[in-house]
Structure 1
Amino acid sequence: MHRLAQSLVLTALAACCGAAIAATPADGVPHGRLPRWAAPESYQLAFKVDPAQQDFTGTTTIKLALKQAADHIWINGRDLNVGKVTITDASGRQHAGKYVTVDMKAGVARVDLGNVLQPQTITLTLDYTAPLNQQLQGLYKVNHAGTPYAMTQMEPVSARFAFPGFDEPDFKTPYDIALTIPSALTGVANTSQISETPAGGAWKTLQFARTQPLPTYLVAFAVGPWDVVNGPTITADSYRSEPLPLRGVATQGEGHRMQHVLSETPSIIHTLENYYGFGYPFGKLDLLAAPDFSAGAMENPGLVTFRDWFLLLDPQSPTKNVRDSFNVTAHELAHQWTGDTVTLAWWDDLWLNEAFATWMQQKVTMKVHPEYRADLDRIAAAENAMENDSLVSARKIRQPITGIGDIETAFDNITYRKGAAVLGMFEGYVGEDVFQKGMRAYIQQHKFGNATADDLIDAIATTANQGTAFKQAFDSFLNQAGVPYVQTTLEHEGGKTILHLSQGRYLPIGSTGDATRVWGIPVCVRYGTTSSSKTQCEMLDKPEGTMVLADAGTSAWVMPNANARGYYRFSMSKPAWADLTKHVDALNDGEQLAYADSIDAGFRRGDLDASDVLTALQPLATAKTREVAVAPLSTVMWIYRYEANTDAQRTAIADWVTKAYLPRMEQLGYQRKAGEADGDSLLRTTLAHALALDFNVPEVRTALLKQGDAALSKKQDGSLNLAAADPDLLGDALAVAVQERGKPAVDALIAELPRTTDPALRNAMLAALSAANTPELANEARDFAITKQVKVGEMAAILRGGRDTPAARDALWQWFTAHYDQVLGRTGSFASGFVPRLAGGGGCSTAEADRLDTYFKPRLKDLAGADRGLAQTREQILLCAALKAKQDSAAILR
């Protein structure tokens, strides 16, 4: 029993002993967590769903433990029209109850029990109707190729749109699901179907096997004319005695495109089972390609749902989609252990789900597809998280949750990417084998239950024979926001080479934060010796420390983040930077990524100017490894977009980029070659986009325009000839065509999108429309984005464009504020926290920050989680403005 529930039982017993009849709880409306004196033990969910209709009906039967005398209970439900409530007490007597919506926005309802019931097990049955949601939440409706489908997305707090219940993660129970659906349609759910019976007229009822204990957010089902295709059966192994059935579920006519992902899935499952020492526990596995979806994918046990382009693949699919398909599938299947088998106790530990799945996906990818270089993806992802973590308004990994808005904004880079980087750092500190043993113990101790961060840290510490200092170091990264900044000074004292270390919080120029902060940082450095290099590690858990570098010569160079395993940035003196730049070829790929990030960090602190940056980054541009070669581009693009004020300065940056990258682009060519490495295809895509659309290199724009024109030509049936462009470059080719050909290109894409169902082609056209670079054409594309021809989950793909110049951002702002209600009307609560960024992201002036603040502050009450979104977007704008003011653009021409 949960400790809180246990204490409540003891309290109730004490009250019982002191009075003849225990009083009903005198509680207020629970705007945070529900009271624990009523807890579900199991659910029976029955739905009658026809996707062609606007509404559905349901009956929810909850067996629950009433742990103290009460005349009511609190549950979650939103947009539910509950018509009948029946209470069955422990003796089998029934009487009517009443369902009262108390807070519709939060989805909180009170069920009046009719009279005071003493502690016992009761059954609560609620009959209701509800709309099929239009914002991709709960049980929602989506049309694909003119055909309606219904499916679910319950995470984080959207189950309350689909059925009344206890919509919190530690209320973990089994479910029996029944779907009554039109006879011609197919229904799938978390578990295998065990029966089908006629339900009168043209209806049938499907009954599914009882689930393992699940929280509400993992309940899943879907109804429609789905294609269901068999994949290879996943063979039994030493951790699972029965073969595992594997299927793909796709919209009508698309099932044949599931074969690639299905062929990859067995290797992922076996790798995960081997790591955790625990077999996949959910009986069957379906992968569903959703025609519209609010997330990238969702780890529902037994029925994992994805945005369709991750799963619908063929030989002409973009290379990025193929690689992303594997990575996202590995992430979601890792959740079957961390998230589904062991579930977070409360949303402040969301990282126990998402950080672990991100970290584990990288391990699976390195095992199955080492050529994908997931080790470098981990480093790049950590550095991406550092951008957000450098804000004063950044979340902690374990951010206290005070309301729905906090839950919904917890799904960010801090939770996923920073969390995964911190796990990787401490895994490196204790050793991979030791960490694995700790993870196995954690899974075994908490399987089919809930866990907290302390449970995980204790399991790792026990296995690693680590004590309080280790736990405090781990907690220092979970319980405080920010990026550690390790400053280094190399000195020679008494015949020894000593590296002096100090730490604080990394803060860019213009930040209002306090840099005084201490973490427990496993600092590892690589340094030059007379013959090669050595690595040395220390736990830096005080403001200052030292390391004696054995065998280091007087001219030793130092790389303060060996193997880029540490979640921190570093700084050195300019001479030390210059020395490290001379030896950058001696660094491994990961260290070169960390080198590039710390150059960028020094620039954003105002320690380095544009000339310093261009000199320091130049050696990386010619690196053989794709991830390293393109690492300088984001920093150089900022200088080009925000610092370069004159034609001469912009030309100088464009010339630097052209010299560094155009030869490589021309060597790769503009068409995918038969049998080429997928890394080459990805490099072609990255360079083509950067050179043509970010830096306007004429040679690349000309080559892409040729492909864009060919793609915009019409076939005999009047549709566009989209296959005429390289599939990896289609979006960029169309984007250049939009910018060069103007309204005819925009009109052609707007006409084509509604009659195109292929998700990869749709994504390419959406990206092209977002590239419209005149106010008139950009507004035409935006007007289209809020129509029904653009899916709800696609809208932002168009709206995120148009930010490259102050004039473009002003035009976007004017359009956005004029169409705010339409945008909000299509935005589900899961995405509402990001609306301020959609409106004002990319700004770089105090005026832009102020107008954002003035406009959104009165509207925060309508946007769950937007207070954090507003604070972070505003801070990013002000930091950009401060950096622009600090940097001397004349340095570009030095």
Structure 2
Amino acid sequence: MQRSLISLAVMALLGLSAGAPTLAAAPAAKAAQVTTQLPRTAVPTHYALSLTPDAANSRFSATVTIALDVKQTTSSLTLNAADLKFSAAALSAGPGKAPQAASKIDVDNDKQTATFHFADALKPGSYQLKLDYTGVIGTQASGLFSLDYENGGAKQRALYTQFENSDARRMIPSWDEPFYKATFALEATIPAGQMAVSNMPVTSTTKLADGRELVRFATSPKMSTYLLFFGLGEFERATAVQDGVELGVVTQKGALGQAQFALDSSRDVLKEYNDYFGVKYPLPKLDNIAAPGRSQFFSAMENWGAIFTFENSILLNPRVATQSDKEASFLVAAHEMAHQWFGDLVTMAWWDDLWLNEGFATWMETRTTTRLHPEWNWDLRTVGIREGAMELDALATTHPVVQRIATVEQASQAFDNITYSKGASVIRMLENYVGEDAWRAGVRSYMAKHAYGNTVSDDLWREVEKAAHKPVTAIAHDFTLQPGVPLIRVADAVCKNGKTTIQLTQGEFSKDQDNKKPLSWRVPVIAQTIGNASARTLVSGGKGSLTLPGCGAVLVNADQTGYYRTLYTPKAFGALAGSFASMSTIDQLGLLSESWAMGLAGLMPASSFMDLANNAPANAAPEVWQKIAGTLAGLHDSYEGKPEQRAALDRFARAKLAPVLARIGWEASKDEAGPVANLRETLIVALGEVGDEGVIAEARRRYAASATDPSAMPAALRQPILGVIAANADVATWDQLRAAAKAEQSNLIKSQLYDLLGAASDKALAQRALDLALTDEPDATAGASIISHVASNHPDLAFDYALSHREQVEKIVDGASRSRYFPGLGRRSADPAMIGKLQAYAKDNLPPEAQGDVKRAISAIEYRIKVRTQRLPQITDWLKQHAV
């Protein structure tokens, strides 16, 4: 994740379809070894679900027949169920056997379970449990939900499902945990003329006497409940075939032309993955369903054979799509399709090992984008992925990659940068340690051995270790079973006879625990003297050494594959800074990131980054200038409330960045490289942020001219220009943007325009955006996004407003992300009072197990305050010495 059915004979519904996959299923792990919140007395093998949605009234009715095996004598069966009302429940021991009606049904809303009691004890054996029930169609992405949108001036309503991590129970009473895999046969009674989509292809469509249609889908392979999908609406579908699989992109009517790139990407990615994993994609089709609206929690979900994606993450509207949008669309395909193997074919046994899904999909998306689109230089993004993880991992509130999950709420909070980005970074390091071929061989063996089964992390390490003939498990355990970031201290190098020797010491990098006793890691380290070949060692027991060919500046973590921080002596860092221009681009990005993080943590002068930025060559790679621009824009925010110091920073930023924009220009050159287009976007926004009058004036000129000349604001410039316009909006401009949002026919563009209303720097306009967010004017999923955009500039205002309207706000936020949404609004604050507000919010509204995001937000605020009081003065002094 990046973030439907009556009247079939029971025996037909319980049978596998002729097209079922033929790979042997892995032997199941012992249930006693896997966490569960349900009694272990029974396990399901198949669900036959008949769904009748009533979209207009936001209700549905359903019947499900569940084939199950009772393992221990019991008089009751307990399943997960949420917001379901049961009208009948009966159990039979097979065809021809008299059903036994439930004597009592107990529904526990807090535990989200339904228990069906029976007068006669159920002895071990096979049974069928038939349940009749009704449920609710929500307006946010939890369970079965609706999305309203306009199409050609007509209002439409489409239905979709979102079940991860634990919301299948809102549509189907089930053993709603990843270990309880089963097959699914789905049928739905739908309005005539609409399209229904699920994991498997449609096998038949029957017209009913009342004018509706009964749609039946093929039986799915064995899979976890959270991967089941159903969609219904006024859809269109584009298709292509690759390796015998029908690929599809499903959109609202009229938007199919925006799906071609996504369809082409799916073909390329499927071919790549079939080869890489050594196990071909086993379903007959794979759809990507593009939906209007958005979620504050996720952008796409890897339902097997039916990936759900919000359209702003995958469709390319030619009016507004930029190079970065194109890259994001491909990335979604690469990430979610990786899940078809890591997550769907082989699934973690419990949410403790969620990273087996998300860390691997994040790693595969980068690897695959680099391989299939080398012109995008996506391998350079691995530095940013690592930095995103370390930002959280160096705080006291971090957690291990493999973490103990006890509740549904904790599972929801596990979808964070530690799970995704640290997981991906550790994989990249281990792949580099054992070699690409050995790593792939281990992954292939893992896939073949555990297909259709469930695993824990050690199952993977075992296969990689066999393939690599290296002690991978010990290193993997160090980086996944304990939290934190290793710190490699580098002593001054000694050069003799054309070779350089360095001594390495392992500690721990912490941003908020100055005297923390360091944990111990076995750290694979790669180093080089600039311009020479690299050498490797494994720092174990806290110490290590390396002898490198050549003399000169020494770079540790060459090629940036390691997950650790590096601390140089001032002399060694000075030598590296002097060699900055001759480094590879990825190492330039690594050194910039290292100096910034170390400076803010007080382990190096905070001005170290400024020295590098000041001496960056004019012809440095676009990604290097993007990094510099983004950091300087962030510093602008850090000087909030200090106008003189901010003005000095802004003058420096304009002096460094404006010539770069002048060199590449506002208009794209013929055959311009994608990274240059991305840099232009970044520079326009960053220069607007630091008050570059020329950029702001040009943005305003183009915005005004676009009313009569569309070429004044081409698609590649539209988003950055409007970003500058919105940030600097006055009342008249804000009203103009709002009018454009109301009049816009494209749902994707409409959402973008409403988000811009929340980006105003002016506090009064930000307040207007907050008030607008809770009206019916934006669609049901846009309000929460507007509030989040206000929080980017006005976190205290947004948090206070949301909390004072908590009941209204909770209605427009996904149920799975409510405990994360409110602290997310406040985490950008630098006001000590926000800490008390967050603590009070958690105390009044959240159980202890759901307070992880609150704690992390508080840590972020405390560190931000520390940086502003203790580190910014060093940068201020540097700016005085380098006044422009």
Instruction: Normalising by structure 1, report the TM-score.
Output: 0.90
Correspondence for 1:841: 827
Letter in structure 2 aligned against 1:113: F
- Report the Cα distance in structure 1 between the residues aligned to 2:47 and 2:837, rounded to whole angstroms: 49
Do 2:181 and 2:223's aligned partners in 1 also have CA atoms closer than 8 Å? Answer: yes
Counterpart residue number, 1:313: 316
Aligned partner of residue 545 in structure 2, secondary structure: strand
Aligned-residue offset at 1:639: 3.4
Residue identity opposite 1:702 in structure 2: A
Within the candidate set 485, 491, 494, 1:492 is matched to: 494
Residue among 683, 686, 690 paired with 2:682 = 686
**8 Å Cα contact 1:393-1:871 kept in structure 2:** yes
Q: What's the counterpart of residue 826 of structure 1?
A: 812
Q: Which moved more, 1:736-745 or 1:384-393?
A: 736-745
**TM-aligned CA deviation for residue 461 of structure 1:** 0.4
Name 1:777's counterpart in structure 2: 765
Residue in 2 that maps onto 1:55: 59
- Asked whether the equivalents of residues 570 and 598 of structure 1 are also in contact (C-alpha less than 8 Å), the reply is yes
Cα distance in 1, alignment partners of residues 80 and 759 from structure 2: 42
Q: Once the 2 structures are TM-superposed, how far is the Cα of residue 851 of structure 1 from its aligned partner?
A: 2.6
Farther-moved stretch of structure 1 (378-387 vs 647-656): 647-656
Following TM superposition, by how much is the alpha carbon of 1:199 offset from its aligned partner in structure 2, in angstroms? Answer: 2.8
Q: CA deviation at 1:292?
A: 2.8
Q: Which residue of 2 aligns with 1:233?
A: 241
Q: Check conservation: 2:158, 2:232, Cα contact below 8 A.
A: yes
Q: What secondary structure, in the 3-state scheme, does the structure 2 residue paired with 1:245 have? A: strand
Which residue type is aligned with residue 499 of structure 1? Answer: I
Query: Is 2:68 aligned against 1:64?
Result: yes
Shift, 1:165, TM fit: 0.3
Question: How far off is 1:520 after superposition?
Answer: 1.6
CA distance 1:436–1:813, shift in 2 (3 Å): closer
Instruction: Decide which moves more: 616-625 or 271-280.
Output: 616-625
Aligned to 2:351: 347
Alignment match of 2:557 (pick from 555, 561, 565): 561
Report the Cα distance in structure 2 between the residues aligned to 1:707 and 1:101, rounded to whole angstroms: 64
Per-residue deviation at 1:842? 1.2
Tell me the distance in 1 between the aligned counterparts of 2:633 and 2:192.
Answer: 56
1:461 is aligned to 465
- In structure 2, the partner of 1:143 is 148
In structure 2, give the amino acid aligned to 1:114.
A
Measure, in 2, the Cα distance between the counterparts of 1:728 and 1:764.
15
Equivalent in 864, 880, 884 of residue 893 of structure 1: 880
**C-alpha displacement of 1:724:** 5.1
What's 1:328 paired with? Answer: 332
d(CA) in 2 for partners of 1:515, 1:729: 50
1:618-653 alpha-carbon deviations (Å, 9 max, x no partner): 334635322222212344334333247654422321
Shift in alpha-carbon separation, 1:37–1:742, aligned structure 2, 3 A: same
Residues of 1 paired with 2:619 and 2:863: CA distance?
31
| One-letter code aligned to 2:148 | N
Q: Which residue of 1 aligns with 2:212?
A: 203
Match for residue 535 of structure 1? 534
Task: Specify which of 684, 704, 710 is matched with residue 709 of structure 1.
Answer: 704
Counterpart Cα distance in 2 of 1:645 and 1:591? 35
The separation in 1 between residues aligned to 2:790 and 2:473, in whole angstroms, is 46
2:28 aligned with 1:44, yes or no?
no
Conservation of the 8 A alpha-carbon contact between 2:149 and 2:747: no
Residue in structure 1 matched with residue 251 of structure 2 by the alignment: 250
Hey, what does 2:691 align to over in structure 1?
696
Kept in 2, the 8 Å contact 1:338–1:357? The answer is: yes
The AA in structure 2 aligned to 1:546 is S
Q: CA offsets, 1:563-596, max 9 Å, x none?
A: 0000111111112111100011232111111101
Q: How does 1:205-604 map to 2 (within 5 A)?
A: 205-229=214-238, 231-234=239-242, 236=243, 243-294=244-295, 295-316=298-319, 317-467=321-471, 470-492=472-494, 497-508=500-511, 510-511=512-513, 514-528=516-530, 532-549=531-548, 551-553=549-551, 556-604=552-600
Query: How far did residue 186 of structure 1 move?
Result: 1.3
Secondary structure of the 2:405 match is coil
> Cα 1:126–1:710, aligned 2, differ >3 Å: closer, same or farther?
farther
**Closer/same/farther in 2, CA of residues 574 and 766 from structure 1, 3 Å limit:** farther
Write the distance in 1 (CA, Å) between the matches of 2:514 and 2:114. 42
The answer to whether the 8 Å contact 2:188/2:215 transfers is: yes
Question: Could you give the per-residue CA deviations for residues 780-804 of structure 1, whole angstroms, max 9, x where no partner exists?
Answer: 1112223333344433432233457
Q: Is the 8 A contact 1:522 1:538 kept in 2?
A: yes
Deviation at 1:855, TM superposition (A): 3.2
Q: Distance in 2 between matches of 1:552 and 1:639?
A: 38
Question: Is the Cα contact below 8 Å between 1:293 and 1:306 reproduced in 2?
Answer: no
Using the alignment, how far apart are the partners of 2:711 and 2:838 within structure 1? 41
- Range with bigger deviation, 698-707 or 727-736: 727-736
Unmatched 5+ residue regions in structure 2?
Answer: 1-26
Residue of structure 2 aligned with 1:884, choices 846, 868, 871: 868
Q: In the alignment, is the contact (CA less than 8 A) between 2:581 and 2:617 conserved in 1?
A: no
User: Displacement of 1:205 after TM fit?
Assistant: 0.6
Contact 2:827 2:861 in 1 (8 A): yes
Out of 453-462 and 532-541, give the one that drifted further. 532-541
Tell me the equivalent position of 1:608.
Answer: 604
Structure 2 partner of 1:123 = 128
* 1:145-199 deviation line (CA, Å, top 9, x unaligned): 1101111111111101111001001111111000111112111111111111123
Q: Using the alignment, how far apart are the partners of 1:789 and 1:55 within structure 2?
A: 24
Distance of 1:587 and 1:497 partners within structure 2:
18
Question: 1: CA distance between counterparts of 2:527 and 2:510?
Answer: 22
Q: Secondary structure at the match of 2:716?
A: coil
Whether contact under 8 Å (1:840, 1:848) holds in the other structure is yes
Contact kept? 2:250, 2:287, Cα under 8 Å: yes
86-95 vs 747-756, greater mean Cα deviation: 747-756
Letter of the 2:860 counterpart: Q
Q: Distance in 2 between matches of 1:272 and 1:84?
A: 45
* Matched residue type, 1:296: S
Residues in 2 aligned to 1:369 and 1:811: alpha-carbon distance in whole angstroms? 42
Q: Is the 8 A contact 2:489 2:566 kept in 1?
A: yes
Cross-structure match for 2:15: none
**Partner of residue 18, structure 1:** none
- CA distance in 1: counterparts of 2:364 and 2:81, whole angstroms: 34
Aligned to 1:15: none
Task: Name the SS of the counterpart of 1:250 in structure 2.
Answer: strand
What is the CA-CA distance between 1:515 and the residue it aligns to?
4.3
**What's the TM-score, normalizing by structure 2?**
0.91
The DSSP-based 3-state class of the residue aligned with 2:527 is strand
The offset of 1:224, in angstroms, is: 0.9
Counterpart in the other structure of 1:88: 92
Which whole-Å CA distance do the structure 2 matches of 1:140 and 1:739 have between them?
34
Instruction: Indicate the SS of the match to 1:622.
Output: coil
Residue pairs, 1:619-698, within 5 angstroms = 619-620=615-616, 622-643=618-639, 646-673=642-669, 675-693=671-689, 695-698=690-693
Aligned to 2:18: none
| Aligned-partner SS, 2:607 | helix
Supply the AA of the counterpart residue of 2:880.
L
Cα 1:735–1:379 change in 2 (3 A) is: closer
Q: Secondary structure at the match of 1:232?
A: strand
CA 1:310 to 1:547, structure 2 compared with 1: closer, same or farther past 3 Å? Answer: same
Alignment root-mean-square deviation, CA: 2.3
Aligned-pair distance for 1:35?
Answer: 2.4
Measure, in 1, the Cα distance between the counterparts of 2:218 and 2:104.
29
Conserved? CA contact 1:708–1:736, under 8 Å: no
Which shows bigger deviation, 754-763 or 106-115?
A: 754-763
- Equivalent residue letter for 2:263: L
Task: Please say if residues 492 and 569 of structure 2, whose CA atoms lie closer than 8 Å, have aligned partners that are also in contact.
Answer: no
Secondary structure, counterpart of 2:284 in structure 1? coil
SS in 2 for 1:516: coil
Q: Distance in 1 between matches of 2:137 and 2:849?
A: 24
Q: Which amino acid in structure 1 is aligned with residue 256 of structure 2?
A: G
On the 8 A contact 2:744/2:750 being kept in 1, the answer is yes
Aligned residues: 843
Change (3 A) 1:309 1:494: closer
Q: Deviations over 1:698-750 (max 9, x none)?
A: 11111112233345x4x8xxxxx987523233334334334544222222333
